[in-house]
Amino acid sequence: MSKDYFGFSENPFEITPDSKFLFLTAAFEEALASVLEGIEKKRGLILLSGEVGTGKTLLLREVIKRLPEGIPSAFLFHSTFTYPELLREIIKEFGRDRSEEKAEDPEILLEAFLQGLREEGKSAVVCLDEAHKLNERVSRKLVAFRERERWIPEVLQLVLSGQPEIETVFHDPVGKFSLKRPVPLVRLKPLSPEESRTYIEHRLRIVGRNAADLFSEEALALIVSQARGIPRWINTLCDNALFTTRKRLLRTVDANAAKEAIQTLEGPGYLPLKPRSGASPFPVSPILGKTGGFHKARWGIVLLVVILGVLWVIPEVRLPFTSYFQRRENSLPRPAPPSFAVRIPEGKTPLPEPRSVPAQTVAAETEKSSPGRWIKVQKGQNLSTLIYLHYGRYSLSLADWVLLHNPSIKDVNRILVDQKITFPLWNEEALVFPDPKDGYRILLGTFGTLREAEVQKEKIKSLVAEPTIVQHRPDPRRTWYRLVSGPYATGDKALAVVKELKTRHLFPVF
C-alpha cells in the first residue's frame, strides 16, 4: 500500500470528503460566510453551485458544524428520493422519527414540526447535496411546500447544492419554477494554481510528509495544470501518481509518473480533463433553444460588434456618445468609502479602531517573529495562499491579524507583485495589544458572519472584560466581524485571560 510505502499516517488523497483535510481559502471562506449569512437572514432558499469536486460537500458539512447550538439540521446527500421519502428523511434527521407517525402524511408532520419551531422563535436548516439530480417533480413539490404558507420560508432554510446546471432550475429567470422570492446564489470557485500547490502540501503535511520531498517540481506543475483547480482531480492525480511511483519502486513522484496518472484519468470511463473540442464549458441558456439557435445568436452578436466597431471609428458618430457618457459619469454620485462601524455598549468609551495600533508597537512585535517574516509577492500568489505558507493554515482570524500589521493592504483580494508583506508572530502574547488611551485589549477572533461573532461572544462573556464586536470591510464584497475585549490594566492580566480561554478550548484562533 502507498500509505506504508511512503510512510503516511493515512492516505492523504482519498476521494471521499473528509473534514480532517479541510483546506480553507479566501474563496471557500467567502462562500461559507455567504451561506451562513443567508441562513441567518432567513432567505428561505440558498443555492450553492460548483463544478464536480470543488468541495461543496465539505462546505455543507462545515455549515452544519457552525450552526448555533439548538438549531435542528439535516444533511442529505442522496438525490434519488421520492417526494414523501425526502420529507420523511428530513423529519428523521430532525430527530422526530416516531413509528406511530409513519403512516401520516409527511407534509402534515413536517409542517406541524415547523409550526412548533415558529412558536418558539426558532428555525431549521436542511442541506441537500447533489440537488441538481433531483427529479423535476420532487423539486416542484418541494418548492410548492415551502411556499404554501408565507411563514415557512422564514422557519425552514433550504440549502441546495449542485453542479452549475442547478442555476438554470432555481435561479435563472427563465428557469423551471416561478419563485415568489429571489434566490441567493453562492458559487464555489476552483483553486488557483498557487492554491492547488498549497492544497497538496496541506494534505501531505497532515499525514507527516512534505510535498517538496515527495514530488518533483515537474510532476507538481503537470498535476496542477491538468487538475484545473478541482480538489477531487488533484486527489485522483496525486493518488495515481503515487501508485505508479510505488509500482516502479521509486521514492519520488517524477514527471513520468504524473504523465501516466494524467493518461489514466483521461482514458476510457473518465471525463476528459480538458474540454472537448468545440464544447462549451457553460450550459446553453434555455432562451436560446437548440444548438442551431445558439449559433445563429452567436453570429448575430459578431455582426453587431463589427457594425459598432466600424461606426466607432467615425468621429461624427463617436464624439457625441463619448461626450454624453463623460457628462453622465461626472454627474453620478461617487460611492462613499466603506465605513468602519463599531457596536459600542451603552455608556462605554468607543473602542479605538484596531488598525490604529501604533507603528512602533507593530514593529517591536514583528521583530520577535521568525526570520523570513517579510515575504515578497510572486506572480500568481494571493494573500490566503501566503498566509497558509507562513502559518501552515488559513482562517479569517489569521488574515485579519496580518492586515493589522499591513495597513497598506486595503483589499484582501488585491495584492501586488513584488509587494512586501509582513507576517507577524502568532501566539498568545501576540493577541494582546496596547490601547493608546486605556490599558490593553485582546483580539479574540474574526468571523465571517455577525451570528458567529455573537455566538462566540455569548460563550466567553463571563470570562472576558467588555467583549465588543467591531465591523470592517477589508473585502469589498462582505463585512468581517472582529471580536475584541478590554480594557485590561496590564498586559499580564490580558495574557492570563488568553491562556484561560485557550485552556477551556474557547479560543477559536488556536
134 is a domain residue: yes
Give the pLDDT score at 157.
93
347 is a domain residue: no
Closest CA to 38 of 116, 163, 153, 132: 153
Inter-residue contact 465 to 487 (CB < 8 Å): yes
281 is a domain residue: no
Q: Do 182 and 199 belong to one domain?
A: no
Residues 6 or more apart in contact with residue 72 via CB below 8 angstroms: 94, 95, 117, 122, 124, 125
Domain boundary among 265, 292, 311: 265
The 3-state secondary structure of 269-336 reads CCCCCCCCCCCCCCCCCHHHCCHHHHHHHHHHHHHHHHHHHHHHCCHHHHHHHHHHHHHHHHHCCCCC
* Angle ∠(501,503,504) on CA atoms, nearest 5: 65
306 is a domain residue: no
Q: Do 183 and 204 belong to one domain?
A: no
What is the domain count for the chain?
Answer: 3
Give the pLDDT score at 367.
39
Complete DSSP assignment for 188-256: -PPPPHHHHHHHHHHHHHHTT--HHHHB-HHHHHHHHHHHTT-HHHHHHHHHHHHHHHHHTT-SSB-HH
d(CA 273, CA 280): 14
Torsion of CA 506, 479, 354, 387, to 10 degrees: 70
Give the pLDDT score at 49.
92
Inter-residue contact 95 to 43 (CB < 8 Å): no
d(CA 42, CA 259): 48
CA dist 60 to 77, 85, 234, 367, 459, Å? Answer: 10, 21, 20, 40, 24
Give the pLDDT score at 329.
36
Burial 420-450, CB ≥16 within 10 A → b, else e = ebbbbebebebbbbbbeeebbbbbbbbbbbb
Q: Do 215 and 179 belong to one domain?
A: no
Residue 501, Cα to own-chain centre: how many angstroms?
Answer: 27
Q: Do 161 and 257 belong to one domain?
A: no
Residue 11, Cα to own-chain centre: how many angstroms?
Answer: 25
Cell digits of residue 387: 498566509
Q: Which uninterrupted H or E stretch holds 400?
A: helix 396-404
Q: Which conformational region is residue 433 in: left (phi greater than 0), alpha (psi within -120 to 50 degrees), or beta?
A: beta
Q: How many CB atoms lie within 10 A of CB 49?
A: 23
Q: Do 91 and 239 belong to one domain?
A: no
14 is a domain residue: no
CATH code for the domain in which residue 68 is found = 3.40.50.300
Phi, psi (degrees; rounded to nearest 5) at 199: -60, -45
- The ranges of the chain with pLDDT < 70 are 1, 97-103, 171-181, 266-372, 508-510
CA dist 442 to 138, 321, 402, 496, 504, Å? Answer: 51, 56, 15, 11, 16
d(CA 127, CA 86): 12
344 is a domain residue: no
Q: Encode pLDDT of 15-70 as tens digits.
A: 888 888 888 888 888 899 899 989 988 888 899 999 988 999 999 999 999 888 88
CA dist 286 to 32, 149, 179, 449, Å? Answer: 29, 30, 17, 35
Q: Do 32 and 162 belong to one domain?
A: yes
Q: Do 167 and 196 belong to one domain?
A: no
Give the pLDDT score at 305.
55
Residue 456, Cα to own-chain centre: how many angstroms?
Answer: 20
Domain boundary among 158, 187, 216: 187
Complete DSSP assignment for 445-501: EEESSHHHHHHHHHHHTTTSSS-EEEEEEEETTEEEEEEEEEEESSHHHHHHHHHHH
Closest CA to 353 of 420, 425, 437: 437
Question: Residue 228 belongs to what domain range?
Answer: 191-265
Cell digits of residue 491: 498586559
Q: What is the DSSP letter of 342?
A: B
Give the pLDDT score at 359.
36
Q: Do 85 and 218 belong to one domain?
A: no
Domain boundary among 133, 168, 187: 187
d(CA 235, CA 237): 6
33 is a domain residue: yes
Q: Do 129 and 181 belong to one domain?
A: yes
Q: Do 398 and 446 belong to one domain?
A: yes
Give the pLDDT score at 465.
87
Cell digits of residue 347: 455608556
Q: Do 131 and 218 belong to one domain?
A: no
Inter-residue contact 231 to 10 (CB < 8 Å): no
494 is a domain residue: yes
Give the pLDDT score at 72.
92
d(CA 24, CA 128): 22
CATH code for the domain in which residue 247 is found = 1.10.8.60
Q: Do 172 and 198 belong to one domain?
A: no
